[in-house]
């Protein structure tokens, strides 16, 4: 009985110690959106699971949207400056991917879906009509935004 109690205590402590708090993401630039000049983008800070194969364009399975920023207008040169944000990470939900959704400027509601059609939690616009009428979705690993410029293809 004592071993079970120790196991439960250790499990509870490890879960609590993994809990985090606020993190800051500095502002960064997005480049390479030349074919979408005159459109808009929304940026999703998400917690997701990496795809099984790391092929170019492979999409992660998004568990939760931690924050949505935008819309930001795409300049004629295909560049966008995204302002810094503060995020709250809890338990297993860590910011590890950036979702960049290209859409029309007139689109009021923007949301993302997983490849299997499921809708990640944390999105208030997912039930609105036209929320998934997106032109293109890019997913970028968190480590790639540390350089200050994200280059999309």
Of the candidates 9, 120, 136, 143, the one whose C-alpha atom is nearest the C-alpha of residue 78 is: 136
Residue 148 is encoded by which pair of tokens?
Answer: 């200050």
Task: For residue 59, tell me if it sits in a domain.
Answer: yes
For residue 44, give its domain range: 20-151
**b/e burial code for range 43-75 (CB count within 10 A of at least 16 → b):** bbbbbbeeeeeeeeeebbbbbbbbebbbbbebe
pLDDT grade for 71, boundaries at 50, 70 and 90: very high
Residue pLDDT, tens place only, 90-145: 888 888 899 999 999 999 899 999 888 888 988 887 788 888 889 999 998 888 88
Domain count, the chain: 1
Residue 128: C-alpha distances to residues 69, 112, 148 (Å)? 17, 12, 33
Q: What is the pTM of this model?
A: 0.81
Task: For residue 9, tell me if it sits in a domain.
Answer: no
């Amino acid at each position: 009985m004592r071993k079970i109690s120790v196991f439960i205590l250790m499990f509870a402590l490890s879960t609590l110690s993994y809990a985090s708090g606020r993190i800051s993401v500095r502002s960064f630039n997005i480049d390479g959106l030349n074919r979408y000049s005159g459109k808009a983008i929304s940026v999703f800070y998400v917690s997701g699971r990496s795809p099984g194969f790391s092929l170019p364009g492979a999409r992660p399975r998004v568990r939760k949207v931690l924050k949505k920023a935008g819309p930001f207008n795409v300049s004629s040169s295909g560049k966008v400056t995204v302002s810094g944000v503060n995020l709250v990470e809890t338990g297993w939900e860590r910011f590890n991917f950036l979702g960049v959704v290209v859409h029309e400027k007139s689109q009021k509601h923007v949301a993302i879906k997983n490849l299997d059609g499921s809708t990640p939690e944390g999105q208030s616009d997912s039930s609105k009509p036209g929320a998934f009428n997106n032109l293109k979705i890019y997913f970028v690993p968190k480590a790639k935004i540390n350089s200050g410029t994200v280059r999309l293809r």
